[in-house]
Amino acid sequence: MDKEILDLLPKVKECKQLCHLLHREVLAFDVSLQKPAPGAIGVPKVKVQVTNTSSGESIYLDSVDFMKNYSILKDEVVHLRHSIENGREYTAPDPHDPLTLLF
């Protein structure tokens, strides 16, 4: 569990920077632990808390789901950078907008 948290922390930080770069500063990220259901036996699960600061709503993503969406977001930023460098137009698909992808 500690390794999972340590692996997620820099990615969560970079995800925040990518959202800022894409003018989606309303999203805030934090790594948290989710306790098992009352009466259930088990260890806490590592989750990424995503908060929409404009609405105050939060969701918790499993680390696997966060990593998948984080990877898509990184790819979109690469596509945008390449289009700017090459003077070409590029529009990211709506499902890849950080607000849709991560919240």
20-74 per-position pLDDT tens digit: 999 999 999 999 998 887 877 888 899 999 999 999 999 999 999 999 999 999 9
The Cα–Cα gap between 97 and 81 comes to 15
Give this prediction's pTM.
Answer: 0.86
Rounded distance between C-alpha atoms, residue 72 and residue 78, angstroms? 10
Domain count for the chain: 1
What's the CA gap between 57 and 68, in Å, rounded?
Answer: 22
Distance in angstroms (rounded) separating the CA atoms of residues 8 and 28: 14
Q: Which domain holds residue 23?
A: 2-102
Rg over CA atoms, the chain: 16
